[in-house]
Amino acid sequence: MTAEMDPAPEWTGTSADPNDEQFGHVVERTTLDSSDEYDAVLVGEPYDGAVIGRPGARGGPAAIREALAGVKTHHFDGGPVGTVADAGDVRVARGASSVRDVQESLRETTKELYEAGALPVFLGGDNSLTYPNVVPLVESASADGGRVGVVSLDAHLDCREVREGEGPTSGTPYRQLHDAGLETLCVVGARHFETSSIYADYLRERGGTVVTAESVAAGVDPTLERIRSAVADADSLYLSIDVDVLDAAAAPGVSAPTPGGLASRELFALVRGVAADERVRGFEVVECAPQLDPTPTGLTAATAARAVAHFFAGVAA
């Protein structure tokens, strides 16, 4: 059953200067049925019922939209972004009775988006949503003999087992996707002392690639080369950002903020580099919890919004 949608908000810019083109001036409202008419379409998923750490990511879609509305559309290397629309929020994310119900409902909606030829940009929401956001791609590729590659920018591996009687959590999406047939996973920005050996061993045994935050600090270009090598055999790609991949100083409003993460500039450059790959079929930003952000400027949502803008710039390049 397809999830119902709440309509997208009205987008408006924050500048009175007619020369200041902002996303608030150019993002159009649309529906799922017309989502393929744009270079990319925003889809909100305001749900954090599966989070392991601190809840609050249900406020992510609204906060990211608000921050993005005031961001200008010009990128110095790529120029202005392409056409962008907003299809609204998935309504079931606020009313389903279990995490599995949310995942099963969302996967039908995401399947429709992919089958329509849309490039969805999912605004989460917690990391449990990665499973329904990606699994239609995996199932379609498996049926055709193809492979999906996921690039996960995250401090954690998120490949815990789904425990009997407990159901999925924000820490299980990649175990679920592996069980569904995902073969290629590259985790970038993982932190030392933020995972258990059993999960690191599991991912290595599944042929996954881990690029630590320390390794990213050695250079964005070498990191992009490692990513390209890790997903070289994939026919299509999906890019995921868990905002906790950033250092806690850059993104305090997340479920599990920790020191030693990526700098904002590193994140933006990596997002553009991956987004420029013509195989990219979808993108998400999860675990942005604005009400947990102690900064008066809403730093976490502002950074997440700019990551979305850099994705648009990469796609348009």
Residue 172 lies in a domain: no
Encode 190-240 in three state secondary structure: ECCCCCCHHHHHHHHHCCCEEEEHHHHHCCHHHHHHHHHHHCCCCCEEEEE
Tell me if 223 is assigned to some domain.
Answer: no
Pair of tokens at residue 20: 């200041």
Specify the residue for token string 């879609």.
61
Q: Is residue 53 part of a domain?
A: yes
In a domain, 219, yes or no: no
Counting the structural domains of the chain, the total is 1
Contacts of 195 (CB under 8 A, 6+ apart): 156, 157
Token duo for residue 98? 């279990």
178 burial via Cβ count (<10 Å: 0-12, 13-18, 19+): middle
Interval 240-297: pLDDT, tens: 999 999 999 999 999 999 999 999 999 999 999 999 999 999 999 999 999 999 999 9
- Domain containing 126 equals 5-145+241-316
Question: Quick one: which of 267, 256, 268, 262 has its CA closest to 292?
Answer: 256
pLDDT in tens, 124-165: 999 999 999 999 999 999 999 999 999 999 999 999 999 888
83 in a structural domain: yes
Look at residue 186 and tell me if it is in a domain: no
Q: Where residue 95 falls among pLDDT bands split at 50, 70, 90?
A: low
Does 254 reside within a domain?
yes
- Which CATH number do you get for residue 104? 3.40.800.10
